Amino acid sequence: AKCFYNLTSLNNLDFRQIIGLASLEDAFMQFPSGLEDITLRECHQLKNLWGSSNTVNLVKLKSLVVSECSQLSSLEELGVLPTLKYLEIKGCSALQSLPTLSGLNILRISSCSALSCLPMDKLLLPQLRNLGISQCQKLNLTPEIVIEDTSTSIEILEITGCPCLNLRTMLGSVYSFASLRFLDIRDCDHHLDQLPTPSLERVSLVRCKNVSYLPSGLGRLRSLFLSSCSSPLLFPQGDF
């Protein structure tokens, strides 16, 4: 039954372990138009966020965190939310795709076992600065959309435990990640023979089996952390 109404001043919503909640529209007679932050954790019957009819009311939504909602398979309602800046998705095992979010600044995805496709156009967003992906076992880039001569705005990139994500393709073009300052890659089996070097200030490589050398042109590098990289590593000569 819809049990919330006339909450015109509500700007923060945090639902955890709500049994039987299939959609937020089930809980509200009138969807609050002032919501800026929504957090949904361990709502295992959640199948969609709030229904397309309520999206028009979320004109102020800036942050969305969805964690351990095992039946959530789609986030298409988010595709028309230009105000959304922060999106964190964790442990949503039925989620299969992501919408394009034109105004997003930060995207964090982890432990989404059914998520298999990440088109490069999701990364070529003008406002996206921070991208973190971890423990998504099936996730890979859509190869036909890899664009070599278009620059992303990503400054922070963190990838952990994504065996199907071809980082060699993803990072292969200097132009694609020309703004990248911080790179953290862990548990990677792919050859990383090219790094986007122009702006890198911090690099962390942990348990990356096929890193054989570091490129030259790392003149802005301030911090370098290497651990358990099994290949013999060659350092650049001359100007590091």
* Cα dihedral 163/168/170/172 (nearest 10): 170
User: Does the structure show a pLDDT above 60 at 148?
Assistant: no
Q: What is the pLDDT of residue 52?
A: 65
As a whole number, mean pLDDT of residues 166-192 equals 75
Q: 63-87: per-residue pLDDT in tens?
A: 999 999 999 998 888 877 888 999 9
As a whole number, mean pLDDT of residues 50-75 equals 85
Instruction: Count CB-CB contacts under 10 A for residue 229.
Output: 17
Do the Cβ atoms of 48 and 27 come closer than 8 Å? no
Question: Terminus-to-terminus CA distance in the chain, angstroms?
Answer: 64
Sheet strands (E) in the chain: 12-16, 37-41, 63-67, 86-90, 106-110, 117-119, 130-134, 140-142, 156-160, 182-188, 202-208, 223-227
Q: 201-232: per-residue pLDDT in tens?
A: 998 988 887 776 666 677 788 998 988 876 65
Segment of 39-43, 153-157, 176-180 carrying the highest mean pLDDT: 39-43
Q: Which of 178, 177, 186 is nearest to 227 (CA)?
A: 186
Within the chain, residue ranges assigned H as helices are 167-170
Residue 45 CA, distance from chain mean position: 23
Q: What rounded mean pLDDT belongs to the chain?
A: 80
Furthest CA-CA distance within the chain: 70
Using a pLDDT cut of 90, give the percent of the chain over it. 31
Residue that wins the pLDDT comparison between 27 and 157: 157
Residue that wins the pLDDT comparison between 125 and 15: 15
- Which amino acid is it at 194? Q
Q: What is the pLDDT of residue 25?
A: 82
Q: 101-138: per-residue pLDDT in tens?
A: 878 899 999 999 999 877 666 666 778 899 999 999 88
Q: What is the pLDDT of residue 90?
A: 97
pLDDT band at 174 (very low <50, low <70, confident <90, very high): very low
User: Does the structure show a pLDDT above 60 at 238?
Assistant: no
Question: Coil, helix or strand for 48?
Answer: coil
